[in-house]
Amino acid sequence: MNRFLFNLKARNAHGLHSPFVYELYTQIINPCLHQTGELSTLLKNELSNYQGKSLENFKFNVQIIDISQFDTENLNMNFEDVLLIKNIREPIHLAQWNHLIEKEKIIFSIELFELGLLFFNPIAPKQHFIFKKS
């Protein structure tokens, strides 16, 4: 899917019903999308220091992984783990990403075109989000 088609499917904070995902988008994801620098590094730094209202006193263990070097079959992750998956938009990896987000252990998946975020904490029903800059 090219950037144009992605932007047609993607959304911003308007209409988000999950308080956690709304806060995550407005406080971390969207500000990082507007900064310069490598998005995965910006998000890792912000998520690692996240002190939001919806998950007070909770620390995320954030890892950056290239999808080409990731074993999607062995997801031995804990509730506090967050994976930032790079290069999900490459044609050879898109099917692998789509297979990965269907896994039962992954509660929230967020797609940011070239980067995906995976959350394992069961704070709400399983959902997949596609976000763009607002």
Residue 84: the pLDDT is: 92
Which residues lie below 8 Å from residue 17, measured CB to CB, with a gap of 6+? Answer: none
Tens-digit pLDDT profile for residues 85-104: 999 888 888 888 888 888 88
Tens-digit pLDDT profile for residues 114-124: 899 998 877 66
Domain of residue 49, residue span:
3-130
Instruction: Give the C-alpha separation, 79 to 39, whole Å.
Output: 23
* Overall number of domains in the chain: 1
Q: Which residues of the chain have pLDDT under 70?
A: 1, 3-17, 52-58, 72, 123-124, 132-134
Helices (runs of H) and strands (runs of E) counted in the chain: 5, 5
Q: What's the predicted TM-score (pTM) here?
A: 0.81
